[in-house]
Amino acid sequence: MALLEIQIYSEVLMKEVSLAVILPLPTITNMEYGDHVAYPDHHQKYQTLWLLHAATGDYTKCLRSSRIETYAREHQLAVVMPSLENSCGHNIPYYGDFFTFITEELPAKLGAVLPLSRKREHNFVAGPSIGGYTAFMLALRRPEQYAAAISLAGGLDLKLAGTNKNTERWFTLIKQSLFGENNEYYDPHIHDLEVIAQDLKESGKIQPRFYACCGEEDLYRHVGQGVIASMQAMGFDVTYVMGHGRHDWDYWDSHLREAIEWLQLNREFVE
């Protein structure tokens, strides 16, 4: 395996941004067992998972909390983990255009120097908690870019995200940053997943597949269920899994592995 920790200047954000990229390359285990792990030829690319951190996190959180390196090796899958701060993947007035960064600038720059496929059918986006919201939002707004999105207990309805009294103050600050103090920046066609999903359905564009899971003991279970039910009622291909677990990586990691299996990847280089 190769773990690349990268600092890259973003012209969109006008600052240095940290991220990590996992590439499945030979390890000593391959040598011990006689496994053959090939290097990509000049015309070969990796299928790519864009794995987004939860709120308050950064690019290291998924690395520190999951076995994503193992899952990437098993599936011959490249994984990109950027730092998006508390942006939820949106362009935020007077702060930074994170949506433009993650959907346009970063794929272009990484694709120019790393063997990552730019084709829709080979790109997927995933994340836990608020990262799950961001994953669904990106796939719904850029269906021509991602074949599937994965939400691990995602806070899919931002309107309900602050209903837990222990995190109410924090979510109030986040919402003010995203939407403005008086909701002057709020746009349901950008921020509300149900509205965005309806927009996509009416557009007639190709639709990604969606995977969502949530633990039965999750404090934020209600934040995602309504959006999932609405998308299913609209006819979207949404797989929803419930099971024992809380809002933490003990639950998310096992379902990250299941979700990657659900993607039905090639497990080899793509052209």
pLDDT in tens, the chain (271 residues): 899 999 999 999 999 999 999 999 877 666 666 666 678 888 999 999 999 999 889 999 999 999 999 999 999 999 999 999 999 999 999 999 999 999 999 999 999 999 999 999 999 999 999 999 999 999 999 999 999 999 999 999 988 876 667 777 878 888 888 999 899 999 999 999 999 999 999 999 999 999 999 999 988 888 889 999 999 999 999 999 999 999 999 999 999 999 999 999 999 999 8
Q: Give the torsion through C-alpha atoms of 107, 111, 116, 119, to 10 deg.
A: 70
165 lies in a domain? yes
Q: How far apart are CA 122 and CA 214, in angstroms?
A: 25
Helix then strand count (H, E) for the chain reads 11, 10
Say which CATH number the domain at 250 has: 3.40.50.1820
Angle of CA points 250, 139, 41, to nearest 5°:
85
Return the closest-CA partner of residue 247 out of 134, 155, 168, 175: 155
271 lies in a domain? no
267 lies in a domain? no
For the chain, the farthest-separated pair of C-alpha atoms sits apart, in whole angstroms, at: 62
91 lies in a domain? yes
Domain limits for position 64:
2-262
203 lies in a domain? yes
CA 38 to chain centroid, in Å, comes to: 27
Return the closest-CA partner of residue 123 out of 109, 137, 103: 103
Number of compact structural domains in the chain: 1
54 lies in a domain? yes
13, 34 Cβ separation under 8 angstroms: no
* Amino acid letter, residue 7: Q
CA distance from start to end of the chain: 21
269 lies in a domain? no
How would you write 53-75 as a 3-class SS string? CCCCCCCHHHHHHCCHHHHHHHH
The one-character DSSP state at 4 is E
238 lies in a domain? yes
Burial grade of 140 (CB within 10 A; 0-12, 13-18, 19 or more): buried
